[in-house]
Amino acid sequence: MRISIRRAARTACTVVTATAALLGVAAAAAPGASAVAGDPYTCDTYTVSFAASHSASMKISAWIPYSNGIYSKDCTLRMNDQGGGVKALQRSLRHCYQQQIADDGFFGPATFTALKNAQSRLAGVAVDGKYEFYTARAIKFPYFTPTGAFYSCR
């Protein structure tokens, strides 16, 4: 009887240790927006295109961050994230909110400060430097012509 209790205790200890190790690896591997494909909070980019309001023939388009797993704008971007979603956000901050930042796809201190500056102009949005639900719905995105010329912010 003692042997089976010891064996059960060792097995339980092994399972707990392995689970803790796996959770630690998963947390280390998923720090930001470019971590795991299919993660519903991972931001990528989606291109929205339509005709300009004054012309039926001129197409304009914008890159917007969207959630890879559920194909919506419900994604989260914060410090140290990287990828297409961050680059789309940076383009918006540069063109629509006159923030002097590079669109390099890395959410560093400059992007954090620029986002806080933009959030301070948006009604109903917390000024916290995170791109989340309310910021995604309030922020404007820049639209470009097929030649890459800046068109407008919507």
Question: Which of 8-12, 18-22, 82-86, 127-131 is predicted most confidently?
Answer: 127-131
The pTM of the full predicted model, rounded to 2 decimals, is 0.70
CA distances to 14, 15, 18, 62 from 7, rounded to whole Å, are: 10, 12, 16, 60
Among 26-35, 44-53, 113-122, the minimum mean pLDDT is found in: 26-35
Structural tokens at position 150? 């800046």
Instruction: Decide if pLDDT at 118 tops 50.
Output: yes
Spacing of C-alpha 105 from chain mean position: 10
